Structure 1
Amino acid sequence: MSILRSWWKWFKNSWRIIVLQLIIGITIGFPVKIFELILLNIKKENPSLAIVMCVVLLLILLPVYTFIFTKLISVLWKPSDIYSKLQLTANQNKNEF
């Protein structure tokens, strides 16, 4: 039973990291498959077109991903949460002495 409690405590503390890893995995895995399909299908017929398409796709996706990740991180990690935890730790250490 204590194993379940310790696992639940860990999950409550790190669910944000798990969600972020899932989102990053999905959002990075999807374009990688697109690049793979472009390179496999077009490279045989016209290699320069495949390279141009990959570069254009990368230029389109880069600002989109930058925007998504900055918004996601700002929602999942709030500086006030970190500050309050540091303040609480400082107060606990102060009370020990």
Structure 2
Amino acid sequence: MKKQDLYNGDIVQLRDGEKYIVLKNANFFNTFDDVLIGLETGLNCPLNEYDDDLYIKPRGLSTLDIVKVCSCEYVGYNIQKHIIGNDTEDLWTWEREDDEA
């Protein structure tokens, strides 16, 4: 999976286990940018901090690499699966195969 394959409303999981929602063209401190917003913490990270292969830049902060993505055709399914927890089947549509740290 590449960064350009992420859609608005996708859920991503970082190597450290934290889950974030992808918000494209979001109002981010009075500018519009693509950001990740933590589902539990509300912390944010600009998506431009990631390279095309979903590794944090510069490489070396591997706990922040994106290792899983849940991309459904309807964002409500992502919310049901990861925020509400109503659906535990097929949580992830993509998982990183390597174990690069």
* Shorter-chain TM band: under 0.3
Q: TM-score, normalised by structure 2?
A: 0.20
Which structure has the higher relative contact order (CA within 8 Å, separation 6+)?
2
Q: TM-score, normalised by structure 1?
A: 0.21
Q: Which has the larger radius of gyration?
A: 1
